[in-house]
Amino acid sequence: MSTNTVYTLNKFASARVLAFGVGIIMFFVAVQVIALHLNSNRTKLITILFVYYMYIMFYCFMTDFYGKTQFISIFLVFFPASVCYWYARFLDGKLNVSVHRFVNIVQLLSILSLACWVLFSNLHLIKGNTMYSGWSGTNITNYFWIHFDTQTQSIFSGVITRNTGIFLEAPMYAYTLLCALYAELFISDEHRMPVIIILLITLVTTFSTTGIIFGVLAVAYYIIRRHVTHISPVGIVMVTIVAGVSLWVIKSALSSKTGSTSATLRNDDLHAGMIAWMKHPFFGNGFNNMHVIHSSMAAWRLKDGSVGALGFTSGVLKILSDGGIYLFVAYFLPLFSFFSTALTQSKTKEKLVGLILLLATMVITFVPYSPLTMYLISFFYVYYFLDNKQSEQKPAHFGEGVRIVMNIRIFVAAHKTYKMPTDTIYQPIFVGTLLHNQVPEEYISDGTGQNISKLNPNFNELTAIYWAWKNDQSDVKGLVHYRRYLSKHPSKDFSTILSRADIEEILQHDDIILPSKRHYVIESNAQHYKNAHYAEPLDVLVEIIRKQYPEYIAACDQVLKRRSAHMFNMFIMRSSYFDEYCEWLFDVLFKLKDSIDITDYDAREARVFGYLSELMLDMWIEKNGYSYREVPVQYLEAKKTFQKGLNLIARKLFSKSREKNSFLSF
């Protein structure tokens, strides 16, 4: 780009700043007034796009920049189109599905690149074609134009080709993999372990220091946050050793980079970007003006004058150099808004970690205008401004604008006398009471009022849920077990179980409170169920949903294909959601009860309706798109981990699904 796009704010420009400043202020006031009267997502979308276009046009006017193919395609076409796409996905409840599709595309690229990297780049099973590249005048080997060999890495006194995939630079590929990894870990509501493992392995093969470090940090945080609830003294020692080894590896990698040409170039890139930005900090130097960045680089890089030797700068500094703080704010507005929200709301603190890692990655990388980056930024625009607000189809949450004291009742299902919480929101309920001679005095009986107490041997704790649905009028209702509770963090007593204040705070922002997912690494939910129980009831359930509740079949299929689920039939939700769920749940289960014969089932398998309802909860949530907060499960008794491991092996060797006909495959 020529230097004429580097401008100086003269008197005429100053007058334009004043005039446009007044106009922008008036415009924002008008938009705010309209939004107060038309608070719908469609209005929000139009407002977002209108403000965005006005903002970008003002940038063009201030920098005397009125058109360039790349600028028009990225900022005026691709980005708004991506916003509209995410908006459409939000309206039809498939926002998370689209995130999965994005991750799946990168995963397929990962698998392809791993195969090419092993078979072609390192085993040399076929000979690649050679192409000329402008990057430092080197020849690049490519394989069918789907994989390129551009860089090598010294390792163990040898040289190995780095995995760059379809990219010409390993850091660019690592950036793509990291974006997919962040999306899977921090945006998606389902964390698929095989996908995470594939992305992490591919990151390692890029030999990108940035990619490996940030990838390991992201996965380590995920593991600690999701799976580590209590560490024994031996575990503390092991964690300390692993942490020490990891820090040593990272330190060694950074030390090897410190004196390398790569590090020198990278440091000079960052330095040049900072100098270029400071020349015009507010409006920048014009879109994609590399001249001002190159002129700020070290003298030794300018001697041959080649573009390749001149290089780039980081993503964030490139944006600041091109558009100053003005363009930077438009680019990162939803991310900054998300920051402020995450600092005050516990439900978004986990996503805050992912956002910090994404920003740190962008500071180091240099692909700010790639379709991938714009795609993610547009997602945050929709996610923050629409998804975190209530859809016009949903009733308002408790506590919007004013603190409302709720009548909360959490039923504690039990079939025997057991120690109970002293908090008055917890109400013990004795299940299957019509089959027992005596009920403890302090317990509610599930055999009073409208009830299905006699079905307890087949419906488990669902008899308590049914009783609460038909007989209790609380604002908020939920269910836990006498040995399991929903908690802030696990302990062995009642000190950390959810209190009234905890529940009120969570339900101000989310529809439902659920236990943390149980993850099945080697099998789907359907496979796990069929390995543990008779397959026929699940098959019949799916057919009932397919024929009589077709609006639920997509959610049903998706839940059964997942490798994680919310178990135990434990949840807390406002009464309107509770009633809606029970209406659907029991309608389906009673039809299923009339469709299968369980007279020959043993006592364990006869509890079939309770087992299936655990999966049905996720189907109902998935179909209706309700938001939820996961909290840890607190066990008052020791978990029988060893016994569960033996049961898993036994299920694999003696699967009950072989004893009944199964026509479903997930």
- Does residue 395 form part of some domain? no
Selection from 330, 354, 351, 334 nearest residue 342 by Cα: 351
pLDDT in tens, 226-267: 655 444 555 556 666 666 666 666 556 555 555 555 666 667
Compute the CA torsion angle 231, 237, 243, 248 (nearest 10 deg).
Answer: 180
Q: Does 573 lie in the same domain as 526?
A: yes
- Of residues 450 and 252, the one with the higher pLDDT is 450
Same domain, residue pair 558 and 575: yes
156 pLDDT higher than 80: no
248 and 283, same domain (yes or no): no
| 397 occurs within a structural domain | no
Higher pLDDT, 102 or 243: 102
**For residue 532, which phi and psi values (nearest 5 degrees)?**
-100, -25
Q: Are residues 340 and 368 in the same domain?
A: yes
Query: What is the pLDDT averaged over residues 155-168?
Result: 78
Give the pLDDT score at 398. Answer: 43
d(CA 554, CA 558): 6
Is residue 641 very low, low, confident or very high in pLDDT (cuts 50, 70, 90)?
low
Neighbours of 467 (CB within 10 A): 25
% the chain with pLDDT above 90 = 26
Range of 622's domain?
408-659
> pLDDT of 360-398, one tens digit each?
787 776 567 777 777 777 877 776 666 444 333 344 444
pLDDT at position 74: 76
Give the range among 53-57, 146-150, 433-437, 645-649 with minimum mean pLDDT.
Answer: 645-649
Helix (H) or strand (E) holding 571: strand 571-574
Residue 665, in any domain of the structure:
no
- pLDDT of 476 over the 50 cut: yes
What is the CA angle 239-243-246, rounded to 5?
140
The per-residue pLDDT for 639 is: 63
Whether residues 218 and 305 fall in one domain: no
Decide if 81 is inside a domain: yes
Q: Do residue 487 and residue 625 come from a single domain? A: yes
Give me the chain's average pLDDT, please: 77
Helix (H, G, I), strand (E, B) or coil at 655: coil
Q: Running DSSP on this structure, what letter comes out for residue 263? A: H
Same domain, 522 and 650: yes
Of residues 293, 292, 310, the one with CA closest to residue 301: 310
Note whether residue 358 is domain-resident: yes
SS3 annotation, 586-647 = HHHHHHHHCCCCCCCCCCCHHHHHHHHHHHHHHHHHHHHCCCEEEECEEECCCCCHHHHHHH
Largest CA distance in the chain: 95
Q: 281-294 burial by CB neighbour count: b if 16+ within 10 A, else e?
A: eebbbbbbbbbbbb
Residues 75 and 118 in one domain: no
- Using CA atoms, how far apart are residues 260 and 582, in angstroms rounded to an integer? 64
Alpha carbon of 297 to those of 3, 7, 76, 308, 363: distances in Å?
16, 20, 31, 13, 18
Are 288 and 188 in a shared domain?
no
> What letter would DSSP give residue 477?
E
Res. 536: pLDDT tops 70: yes
- Domain boundary among the residues 333, 353, 387 is at 387
Helix axes 536-548, 608-624, angle to 10 degrees: 40
**539 domain residue, yes or no:** yes
- Do 318 and 421 share a domain, yes or no? no
Query: Which whole number is the average pLDDT over 599-628?
Result: 94
Indicate the number of domains in the chain: 4
Count CB atoms within 10 A of the CB of residue 278.
12
Lowest mean pLDDT among 17-26, 235-244, 295-304, 344-353: 17-26
- For residue 185, give both structure tokens: 């870990």
276 and 155 in a single domain? The answer is: no
Domain limit, last residue, from 227, 248, 272: 227
Q: Residue 664: inside a domain, yes or no?
A: no
pLDDT digits (tens, 9 = 90+) for 15-64: 555 555 555 555 555 555 555 444 456 666 777 777 777 777 777 777 66
Query: pLDDT digits over 432-442, tens only?
Result: 998 876 888 88
Full DSSP string of 236-258: HHHHHHHHHHHHHHHHHHHHHHH
Confirm whether 400 is domain-assigned: no
Based on the fold, state whether residues 462 and 545 are members of the same structural domain. Answer: yes
Integer Cα distance of 273 and 360 in angstroms? 16
Question: How confident is the model at residue 590, as a pLDDT?
Answer: 96
Query: Hey, how many other C-beta atoms are within 10 angstroms of the C-beta on 583?
Result: 11
